[in-house]
Amino acid sequence: LKKPRDPSPEFRSSAPSTVGATAGRRGFSLVEVTFGIGLIMFAALVIFSLLPVGLVYLQDSNRQIVETEIFNTVGAELASTPYEQLASYQSTRFPVYFNNEGIEVDADEDPIFTVRCNAPVAEAGGETSRMTVLIGFRRDPAGSDADGKVTKRTFLLVDRGI
């Protein structure tokens, strides 16, 4: 085999020699690729670990929105009920059942929310009454609310003489 000829001095580069670790380097080393993939996987792990927490907060906020709609509906019904009929209204109307969109359903239609109302408590010489409305999420609010799945609001109803 013939040995390649040494280029003439006028064609030699004045740049430093590239012999060694950087000679002919055109891509990333295995260590750099492994480090990059590890960094991306760590970031993905952090993002995906926050996903369940975000979904829990989303479900909780949706539940609160529907409960607020239910409270508004029941409160409007109580306000439009004649004052003398509040006691009988409480015993004949409740419990009331709602689905996950806040629409009233029958008890056999797998309700998500169960609404109960306590008997009216007369105040201020009988011209006002307090009624507490309880909403149970996937349970009947008649039991204990120790697990936090029962929300309650108290409405002050005034005898307007109508």
113 CB-near residues (< 8 Å, 6+ apart)? 66, 67, 70, 97, 98, 99, 102, 135, 136, 137
Q: Which residue has the higher pLDDT, 3 or 90?
A: 90
pLDDT band for position 42 (50/70/90)? very high
Is the predicted pLDDT of residue 45 greater than 80, yes or no? yes
Across 37-46, 89-98, 130-139, the highest mean pLDDT is recorded for 37-46
What is the reported pLDDT for 150? 84
Q: Other C-beta atoms within 10 Å of 123: how many?
A: 12
* Gap between the Cα atoms of 140 and 95, Å rounded: 9
Residue pLDDT, tens place only, 139-159: 777 665 455 588 888 888 887
* Percent of the chain residues past pLDDT 70, beyond the cut: 77
* Gap between the Cα atoms of 69 and 87, Å rounded: 23
